[in-house]
């Protein structure tokens, strides 16, 4: 097991801050601010210098004075900046003696930036078209140093007194209540806040701007006095804050009672910030949110109510667990985030018992189970040493695996016992700092159980096990635990880990879980194998289970009998899906399991069915059209049945789960092309957009209908309608809906428009990722997004390198869906010469995920095709011949070249010595015959290198990593391409009885005809772009042969990377991020070419 590393360089502990007195004066004309910072410090050793954190601050003066020695003071003679470590050192001509009466006075100039961290600015327009400016802060994890010089580490706590100077009439907010307000003669006001309790620098916050608010009070039963709670919103949106305000009041009461500690501050404000990078931030007494994460209209969707409740309660739990007791160092981040997440679900379950929140929890943890099954994952307890590493651990492992192993601990100890231990822990360490081991020791003392021994193995080891069940006879089973990897290629030396696994075994004859602790590699149990049995009852354990096919069928037969609740059915489904992706079971077994869900009525289960089907469809996206259509038909039949049962109307007082189920069913039946649902979606869309009939599209149906319409139309009118809706609505949730569906536009033109719109000034930085995420749902969208990222990488990196998580998620969205060897090579080549330290975790994870997709597709493409044929989802003659079985990844290079004709030259792929293509010289590496699965294998080994081998053993090297066809260009069948431009198959799928009405058939044929025409137009556009690209490359080759020296770089405006750069050359040196450079960067917003 790995023990988290400590930071290599932290600030000197011989000088400790006691109290900060800050005065902040923003200068809106030039986006700067004046700062005065007086810090009471304790000096433990004589020194000539003081080092503290500062970033992008221009120090004007620095003086140290001892207020007890008759005003003795000494002025710093020099200030040295360490950009890499983000520190300044103040040098003094005389020694500063030991004592606790020193005050360090610093005046400085800083930048009110637009990076969404530190002290930054935002702007919004209200419903009356009035423009409002505001400034706010976001200091977690290491951005307080952008606003004032400080000891910016969680363990170095202090108290704070803050004064803000702002225009009169503007609202000023901070952690504490206002102590005084002084009106100044120049139309300004000076607002001073009460002194804070002792806390970490990253929890300090302030903001200045125009806000409306609503308020309510707690009962005072647990605090001794009533605590005012307010929700502050942009002007005109206060009515959308009532739901969150009610949650806030109830949560403060709940946690005060749970921890037996009154809420420590005099007030609690929740603020909706128009521009905000994280979803929310737990600043003590001043919690900040994205508008979408806090505000909801009275008739908002049920899904958003669930999301808002979990977010608001999570942040309020931090007011005790995180703020009152704070992590010792960032390696303990997981503990506080994981516990806040777990506590939020406990409270939501108590406040809303009808929500079945633990089934939702099981659904939500599937993403982290997938992430943690890759070699590139990291332990829950992970060592961090610098700011870039800190940012990268704000991920699903810290939040959701942390919450999951804590839930597993809760199931083992009992929830009451866990909460009693947590209360003892908070009382023991309140106003101070603690680490993970401190909590385990406290829980062990309370429960008399070996909590440290149990939890260390789950938090200090990467990954988790899969339990493989072997039935020895009708009454005996063998359980074996092994490391689970999504790639399915566990090596012997990796499989030595043994986890303590709470089995939670139930049987058909005994529904009481048997809490057996498995702490060996193998375990023999007595179980009646003629009936069903299930491990991990309630899905409280963080592991997978692989059952024999017979047992899985017996479990499937229980669905609909109430013997297994929704969480258990979700668990069986997700385990089956994960096992087929890893190769432990064939994909056909998962498709067969879906039959048992045909009569399912639970929303959570259907939501998970939809997600697992989309995962399969995403990996198979570039497979031949008949195969994709067959998979879509599986989806259509499953979900259309629900729509026919529930209809489109919402009866008054309908159960929220049924409301959600209807929306999911309509979305995925329409996504699969059901003609009746598509037609009804278009009708309602027209009524909503053209006739302004809001009843035609209730909020829960807007996203599904918008998506269906964009997926099934070729014109731009509907796209324009949605863009205009985005521009016109002032409801945050509706804006996100409209923005998020734009990526479903199916034409090349709409894909490019979406990218242009996402990067325009009309879309806030925080919302860019929402706008581009759905582009991954189409072949064209994936190719275009990847090419866009490559062409604009330099500008993207410089603009967003400081944004929390932005680069991580932009990289993830651009590449994680790939499933071809060519794309894998392109990604490696593109990042080969770049400094990836700020996003290396997510890049490695994406590459490993692509490798998993490649292996899955190679292994099971024939298995899926055969299942579709046997089960009647492929029409006669719609199978795939040898040419059709070519990977559509062959088109990746062609797409890249064609699309790059719009953006500039494509980057060539140098430096791929790890890749070896072994194939007969007369064949293309991506082509295979109908029987080639038995004789040809594409191997992607555990180190990330890839090779393709055939029986001949001959070799064909891919120089520079470029994927170049050996003879001419070949266009694969299916998808949006056809080798013969005039031949596209037509298919009419029958219903479950093998029958179809003439009207249905005509609708289907018309729909397919429209799609075929659309596909042909796309193909013609790509061919045209390809010809232009070839002509350009010929011209370039001619000019290069007549005088351009090797490595010569032509000038590109706006800092874009140039395609001729050699991959083995040194990356361009980054310019220092000075104040002047920051001011220069302000003008770069929206600086992208199309």
Annotated binding site: 314, 318, 337
CA angle, 783 then 786 then 792, to 5°: 135
Strand partners, 327: 434
Q: Does residue 315 carry a catalytic annotation?
A: yes
Whole-angstrom distance, CA of residue 686 vs CA of residue 690? 5
Q: By C-alpha distance, which of 916, 915, 909 is closest to 954?
A: 916
Residues 6+ apart with CB under 8 A from 386: 7
Question: 883 φ, ψ to 5°?
Answer: -70, -40
CB atoms within 10 A of CB 394: 18
Q: Which residue has the tokens 């009804």?
A: 680
Alpha helix stretches (DSSP H) within 731-871: 732-741, 748-758, 768-773, 779-791, 793-800, 806-815, 821-831, 840-870
Do residues 688 and 676 touch, judged by C-beta distance below 8 A? no
Helix (H, G, I), strand (E, B) or coil at 33: strand
Alpha carbon distances (Å) from 857 to 483, 484, 611, 864: 22, 19, 18, 10
Q: By C-alpha distance, which of 128, 163, 153 is closest to 13?
A: 153
By residue count, the chain amounts to 1090
If you ran DSSP here, which 8-state letter would residue 113 be given?
Answer: B
Tokens found for residue 228:
């005012």
Whole-angstrom distance, CA of residue 61 vs CA of residue 76? 8
Name the binding residues for Zn(2+).
314, 318, 337
Query: Which helix (H) or strand (E) element contains residue 901?
Result: helix 890-903
If you ran DSSP here, which 8-state letter would residue 979 be given?
Answer: S
Whole-angstrom distance, CA of residue 210 vs CA of residue 698? 31
Q: Is 865 left (phi over 0), alpha (psi -120 to 50) or beta?
A: alpha
Do residues 315 and 336 touch, judged by C-beta distance below 8 A? no
Residues 6+ apart with CB under 8 A from 1085: 114, 761, 799
Strand partners, 269: 230, 286
Helix (H, G, I), strand (E, B) or coil at 695: helix
Q: Is 502 left (phi over 0), alpha (psi -120 to 50) or beta?
A: beta
Whole-angstrom distance, CA of residue 743 vs CA of residue 728? 19
Which residue in 315, 396, 608, 622 is the catalytic one?
A: 315
- Burial class for 647, CB neighbours closer than 10 Å (0-12, 13-18, 19+): exposed
CB atoms within 10 A of CB 968: 6
Helix (H, G, I), strand (E, B) or coil at 704: helix
Helix axes 821-831, 890-903, angle to 10 degrees: 40
411-414-417-419 Cα dihedral, nearest 10 degrees: 50
Q: By C-alpha distance, which of 112, 109, 119 is closest to 59?
A: 109
Do residues 365 and 397 touch, judged by C-beta distance below 8 A? no
Tokens found for residue 1085:
């917003």
Written in H, E and C, the secondary structure of 315-338 is HHHCCCECCCEEECCHHHHHHHHH
Residues 6+ apart with CB under 8 A from 714: 746, 747, 1010, 1013, 1014, 1017
Whole-angstrom distance, CA of residue 109 vs CA of residue 113? 12
Question: Got the DSSP string for 963-975?
Answer: ---SSS----SST
Do residues 606 and 660 touch, judged by C-beta distance below 8 A? no
- Give the residue numbers marked as catalytic: 315
């Amino acid at each position: 097991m790995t023990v988290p590393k400590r930071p290599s360089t932290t600030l000197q502990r011989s000088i400790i801050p006691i109290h900060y007195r800050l005065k902040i004066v923003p200068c809106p004309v030039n986006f700067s601010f004046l700062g005065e910072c007086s810090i009471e410090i304790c000096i433990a050793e004589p020194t000539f210098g003081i080092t503290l954190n500062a970033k992008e601050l221009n120090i004007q003066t620095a003086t140290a004075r001892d207020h007890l020695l008759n005003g003795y003071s000494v002025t710093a003679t020099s200030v040295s900046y360490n950009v890499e470590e983000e520190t300044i050192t103040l040098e003094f001509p005389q020694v500063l003696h030991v004592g606790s009466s020193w005050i360090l006075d610093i005046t400085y100039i800083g930048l009110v930036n637009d990076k969404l961290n530190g002290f930054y600015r935002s702007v919004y327009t209200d419903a009356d078209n009035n423009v409002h400016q505001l400034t706010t802060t976001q200091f977690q994890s290491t951005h307080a140093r952008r606003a004032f010089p400080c000891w910016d580490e969680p363990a170095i706590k202090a108290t704070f007194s803050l004064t803000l100077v702002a225009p009169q009439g503007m609202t000023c907010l901070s952690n504490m209540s206002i102590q005084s307000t002084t009106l100044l003669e120049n139309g300004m006001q000076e607002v001073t806040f009460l002194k804070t309790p002792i806390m970490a620098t990253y929890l300090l916050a302030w903001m200045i701007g125009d806000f409306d608010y609503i308020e309510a009070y707690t009962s005072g039963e647990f605090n001794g006095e009533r605590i005012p709670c307010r929700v502050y919103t942009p002007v005109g949106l206060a009515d959308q804050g009532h739901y969150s305000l009610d949650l806030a009041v109830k949560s403060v009461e709940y946690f005060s009672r749970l921890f037996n500690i009154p809420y420590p501050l005099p007030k609690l404000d929740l603020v909706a910030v128009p521009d905000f990078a994280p979803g929310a931030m737990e600043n003590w007494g001043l919690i900040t949110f994205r508008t979408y994460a806090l505000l909801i209209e009275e008739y908002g969707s049920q899904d958003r109510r669930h999301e808002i409740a979990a977010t608001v309660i999570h942040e309020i739990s931090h007011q005790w667990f995180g703020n009152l007791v704070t992590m010792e160092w960032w390696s303990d981040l997981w503990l506080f985030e994981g516990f806040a997440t777990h506590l939020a679900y406990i409270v939501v379950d108590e406040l809303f018992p009808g929500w079945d929140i633990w089934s939702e929890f099981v659904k939500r943890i599937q993403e982290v189970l997938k992430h943690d099954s890759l070699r590139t994952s990291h332990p829950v307890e992970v060592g961090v040493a610098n700011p870039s590493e800190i940012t990268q651990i704000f991920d699903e492992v810290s939040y959701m695996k942390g919450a999951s192993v804590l839930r597993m601990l809760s199931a083992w100890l009992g929830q009451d016992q866990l909460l009693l231990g947590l209360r003892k822990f908070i009382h023991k360490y309140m106003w101070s700092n603690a680490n993970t081991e401190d909590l385990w020791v406290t829980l062990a003392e309370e429960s008399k159980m070996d909590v440290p021994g149990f939890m260390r193995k789950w938090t200090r080891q990467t990954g988790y096990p899969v339990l493989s069940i072997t039935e020895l006879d009708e009454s005996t089973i063998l359980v074996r635990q092994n490391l689970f990897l999504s790639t399915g290629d566990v090596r012997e030396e990796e499989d030595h880990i043994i986890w303590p696994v709470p089995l939670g075994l139930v049987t058909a004859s005994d529904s009481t879980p048997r809490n057996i602790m498995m702490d060996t590699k193998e375990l023999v149990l007595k179980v009646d194998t003629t009936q069903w049995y299930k491990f991990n009852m309630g899905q409280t354990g963080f592991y997978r289970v692989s059952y024999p096919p017979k047992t899985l069928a017996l479990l499937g037969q229980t669905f609909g009998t109430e013997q297994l609740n929704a969480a258990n059915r979700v668990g069986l489904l997700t385990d089956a899906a994960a096992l087929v992706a890893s190769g432990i079971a064939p994909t056909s077994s998962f498709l067969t399991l879906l039959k048992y869900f045909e009569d399912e009525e639970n929303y959570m289960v259907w939501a998970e069915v939809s997600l697992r089907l989309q995962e399969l469809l995403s990996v198979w996206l570039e497979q031949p059209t008949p195969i994709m259509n067959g998979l879509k038909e599986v989806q259509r039949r499953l979900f259309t049945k629900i729509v026919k049962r529930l209809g489109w109307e919402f009866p008054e007082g309908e159960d929220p789960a049924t409301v959600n189920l209807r929306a999911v069913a309509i979305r995925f039946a329409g996504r699969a092309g059901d003609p009746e649902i598509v037609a009804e979606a278009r009708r309602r869309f027209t009524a909503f957009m053209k006739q302004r009939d809001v009843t035609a599209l209730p909020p829960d149906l807007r996203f599904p209908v918008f998506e269906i319409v964009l997926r099934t139309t070729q014109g731009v009118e509907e796209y324009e309608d949605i863009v205009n809706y985005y521009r016109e609505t002032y409801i945050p949730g509706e804006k996100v809906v409209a923005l998020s569906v734009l990526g479903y536009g199916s034409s090349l033109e709409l894909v490019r428009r979406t990218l242009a719109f996402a990067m325009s000034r009309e879309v806030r930085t925080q919302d860019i990722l929402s706008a581009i995420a759905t582009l991954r749902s189409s072949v064209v969208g994936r190719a275009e997004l990847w090419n866009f990222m490559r062409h604009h990488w330099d500008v993207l990196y410089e603009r967003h390198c400081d944004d929390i998580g932005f680069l991580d998620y932009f990289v993830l969205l651009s590449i994680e869906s790939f499933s071809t060897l060519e794309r894998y090579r392109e990604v490696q080549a593109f990042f080969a010469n770049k400094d990836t330290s700020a996003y290396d975790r997510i890049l490695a994870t994406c590459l490993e995920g692509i490798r998993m997709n490649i292996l899955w597709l190679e292994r099971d493409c024939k298995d899926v095709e055969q299942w579709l044929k046997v089960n009647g989802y492929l029409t006669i003659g719609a199978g795939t011949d040898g040419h059709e079985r070519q990977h559509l990844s062959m088109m990746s290079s062609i797409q890249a070249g064609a699309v790059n004709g719009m953006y500039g030259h494509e980057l060539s792929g140098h430096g791929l010595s790890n890749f070896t293509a072994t194939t007969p010289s007369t064949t293309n590496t991506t082509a295979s015959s109908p029987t080639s699965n038995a004789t040809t294998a594409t191997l992607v080994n555990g180190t990330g290198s890839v090779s393709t081998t055939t029986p001949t053993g001959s070799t064909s090297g891919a120089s520079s990593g470029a994927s170049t066809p050996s003879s001419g260009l070949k266009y694969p069948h299916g998808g949006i391409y056809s080798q013969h431009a005039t031949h596209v198959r037509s298919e009419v799928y029958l219903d479950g009885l093998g029958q179809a009405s003439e009207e249905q058939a005509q609708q289907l044929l018309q729909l397919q005809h429209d799609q075929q025409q659309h596909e042909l137009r796309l193909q013609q556009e790509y061919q045209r772009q390809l010809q232009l690209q070839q002509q350009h490359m010929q011209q370039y080759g001619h000019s290069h042969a007549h005088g351009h020296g090797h490595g010569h770089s032509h000038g590109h405006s706006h800092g874009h990377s140039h395609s001729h750069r050699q991959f083995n050359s040194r990356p361009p040196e980054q310019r220092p991020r000075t104040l002047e450079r920051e001011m220069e960067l302000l003008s770069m917003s929206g600086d992208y070419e199309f």
